[in-house]
Amino acid sequence: MHKRRAAIIAALFCLIWAGSVGAQDVALRSRDGAIELVGTLLGFDGEFYRLQTQYGELTVDGSGVTCDGPGCPSLTDYVAELSVSGSATAGSVLMPALIEGFARRNGLTAERAATDPTHFTYALMQTDTGRLVGRFGFRVTNTDEGFADLLADEADIVMALREIRPAEVRLARDAGLGNLLEANRSRVLALDAMVPVVAGANPVQSISLPQLARIAAGKLTNWRELGGPDAPVILHLRDPRSGLAQGFEDRVLRPARFSLREDVVRHASNAALSEAVARDPFGIGIASFSELGNTRPLVLSGDCGFALRGTRRNVKTEDYPLTAPMFLYLPARRLPALAREFLTYVRSAPAQIVIRRAGFVDQAVEEVPLDLQGDRIANAISVAEGAEGLHELQRMISTLAPMRRLTTSFRFETGSARLDAQSRSNVLQLAQALEDGDYDARHLVFVGFSDGDGPAATNLSIAARRAETVRNAVLLAAETADTARLDLRTEAFGEAMPMACDETDWGRQVNRRVEVWVR
């Protein structure tokens, strides 16, 4: 009796619930009738009851008890409910495509019904019986509205095109939603990028980030300063509450300590922005990589001669400095099983195909041989100084030539040893691959690089420590990996292969990275 009682009590653990039903008194009884809990039913997710009792708030596994009372939900006809709010960039095309893909792979039919331009619902039904098993509701507006809905308890998941801000983190914690900075509270859904674009007839081919910041601040106002015509520069941005526009201000204006000019032409959607810039011979816009339309992207350049293009591979490796991860933020609540299955699906290989077809950059890992990295090698050769620099370059080439670079890279937040948001997601992704045995009997090398600011020997030492830090983080996350079948090493080449010029903060940040090479 005592063992049985202890086992049942052990199943009662506190969790935070994603939804609620009407508060009513119910009685939960163990299958053998030995234990009974009476209280107010606060929620049910199809698997677990959440009950307010004289012992406090308890969560009970529904498989081990029976429920008695008028408020008891149906175990057989339960419908999973999920509310998603936020970025229109993610919500208009990508999330619907993923839901439809998820439904097909699980023998479900997905029927979409719109109630107004910003609200729609997917009803998920069993294909063979037609029984409704899930209802996913969407409010598609912008990142700000998504976080506001979460704080108002009107959304279970936020779609965001920028990282959560400190004030939002504090408000969420105060509202009992947990620490949204923790690794399991957010995930990268796909990758986008902020791309400077112009009309096809504009003669300007490239622009530096400092020049872009000066345009946004109204300090560079004539195309003649960029080698173009004697004409005013007209700036096009998304609406102020868009994650794309906010990300641009966070990543380009704030580091330069500039404020945004007032005469910005705003647009309600990515497509509208691209269409307007394509028609404006004197316009420049910050467009989504997924919706460039008929515009022409500008190459990001620097005074040292390096150039970075917003290509799919450069976005995936985060070599492109204006990469914009698309986030899903999840509070510390228990979601219904169907919702959890969907979140598992979005990280799967089939989902990455859906993401690519929707026009975004997926996170499927690719292996890139050294002979397809000519621009990077050319940059390395151009900055090698003296016999010591040449020797380090030769050592790097001889070490990496037999290997392939993974598109999984790791970078750090500005002025911090903490990995940035995309890299934290990459840790979990690579750890999962190790657990799945994808790299059994292969050699993985975590290779550290640094910027060129400071003595070469110091930079080499810092790069080596970063490589070791990332390797340890991946191993710690890969809890079930068979380490006996893995060969994970570290290497460092310091400042030997810069990705950008070191004269700006963003250039130094791009150069400070850890790459993964495999053989």
CA distances from 50 to 21, 76, 324, 425, 466 (A): 10, 18, 38, 31, 44
- pLDDT recorded at residue 23: 53
d(CA 197, CA 279) in angstroms, rounded, equals 12
Which residues does 209 contact at the CB level (< 8 Å), separation at least 6?
A: 252, 300, 321, 504, 506, 507
Q: Is residue 53 within 8 Å of 38, Cβ to Cβ?
A: yes
| HEC readout, 415-465 | CCCCECHHHHHHHHHHHHHHHCCCCCCCEEEEEEECCCCCCHHHHHHHHHH
**Amino acid found at 265:** V
Where in 90-238 does DSSP place strands (E)?
108-116, 119-126, 132-141, 157-160, 186-198, 206-208, 234-238
Residue 290 belongs to some domain of the structure: yes
* SS3 assignment, position 512: coil
Which pLDDT does position 406 carry in this prediction? Answer: 95
Full residue range of the structural domain in which residue 205 is found: 192-317
Are 203 and 299 part of one and the same domain? yes
Q: What is residue 100's DSSP assignment?
A: H
Compute how many other C-beta atoms are within 10 angstroms of the C-beta atom of residue 36: 12
CA–CA separation, 183 and 344 (whole Å): 15
Does one domain contain both 300 and 392?
A: no
- Whether residue 351 is contained in a domain is answered as no
- Angle at which helix 95-105 crosses helix 349-357, to 10 degrees, equals 140
Give the separation between CA 158 and CA 1, rounded to whole angstroms.
46
What local confidence, expressed as pLDDT, does residue 517 receive? 96
CATH number of the domain where residue 310 is located: 3.40.190.10
Cα(366)–Cα(319) distance, rounded to whole angstroms? Answer: 14
| CATH number of the domain bearing residue 20 | 2.30.30
Shared-domain flag, residues 390 and 485: yes
Residue at a domain's end among 27, 47, 68: 68
Residue 360 in domain: no
pLDDT at 3: 40
Cα 58 to chain centroid distance, Å, stands at 33
Euclidean distance between the first and the last CA atom of the chain, given in angstroms as a whole number = 57
What's 458's domain CATH number? 3.30.1330.60
Given 68, 98, 122, the domain boundary residue is: 68
Asked if residue 350 belongs to a domain, the reply is no
| 218 and 307 assigned to the same domain | yes
Nearest alpha-carbon partner for 18 in 84, 70, 63, 75: 84
Q: How many folded domains does the chain comprise?
A: 4
Same domain, 379 and 471: yes
- Domain membership of residue 208 (yes or no) is yes
**Tokens standing for 199?**
């009309």
Element (H, E) at 328: strand 323-329
Instruction: For residues 238 and 45, give the distance between their C-alpha atoms in angstroms, rounded to a whole number.
Output: 38
The two structure tokens encoding residue 415: 């002025």
Tokens for 87, please give them.
Answer: 């970025």
Q: Is residue 239 located within the same domain as residue 370?
A: no
Strands 24-30 and 36-44 come out as antiparallel
The answer to whether residues 373 and 477 touch, using CB atoms and an 8 Å cutoff, is no
CB under 8 Å to 365, separation ≥6 — which residues?
Answer: 406, 407, 408, 429, 430, 433
Give a yes or no: residue 356 inside a domain. no
Q: Which are the contacts of 65, defined by CB distance < 8 A and separation ≥ 6?
A: 28, 29, 30, 31, 37, 49
Residues 200 and 300 in one domain: yes
Query: Are 289 and 315 spatial neighbours (Cβ–Cβ below 8 Å)?
Result: yes
Residue 213 sits in the same domain as residue 93 = no
Q: How far apart are CA 61 and CA 40, in angstroms?
A: 16
- Positive or negative, the CA dihedral 83, 73, 340, 335 is positive
Do 118 and 178 fall within a single domain?
yes
56 SS3 class:
strand
Q: What would the two tokens of residue 507 be?
A: 């250039």
Long-range CB pairs of 271-276, under 8 A, 24+ apart, other chains included: 273/236, 273/237, 273/238, 274/197, 276/236
Q: Which of 13, 35, 68 is the last residue of a domain?
A: 68
Here the tokens at position 504 are: 């700006």
User: CA–CA separation, 41 vs 26, rounded Å?
Assistant: 6
Question: What's the pLDDT score for residue 7?
Answer: 40
Query: Do 381 and 511 belong together in one domain?
Result: yes
pLDDT tens, position by position, for the chain (519 residues)?
Answer: 444 334 433 333 333 333 333 457 899 999 888 889 999 988 788 888 888 888 888 888 888 899 998 888 877 788 999 999 999 999 999 999 999 999 999 999 999 999 999 999 999 999 999 999 999 999 999 999 999 999 998 999 999 999 899 999 999 999 889 999 887 888 899 999 999 999 999 999 999 999 999 999 999 999 999 999 999 999 999 999 999 999 999 989 988 899 999 999 999 999 999 999 999 999 999 999 999 999 999 999 877 767 788 899 989 988 888 999 999 999 988 888 899 999 999 999 999 999 999 999 999 999 999 887 777 777 777 777 777 778 888 888 889 999 999 999 998 877 677 888 888 889 988 999 999 999 998 999 999 998 888 888 898 999 999 999 999 999 999 999 998 888 999 999 988 888 777 777 777 877 889 999 999
Q: Are residues 302 and 197 in the same domain?
A: yes
In a domain, 359, yes or no: no
Answer whether 465's CB lies under 8 Å from 267's CB.
no
> What pLDDT is attached to residue 253?
93
311 falls within a domain: yes
Structure tokens at 152: 């108002």
Q: Are residues 175 and 197 in the same domain?
A: no
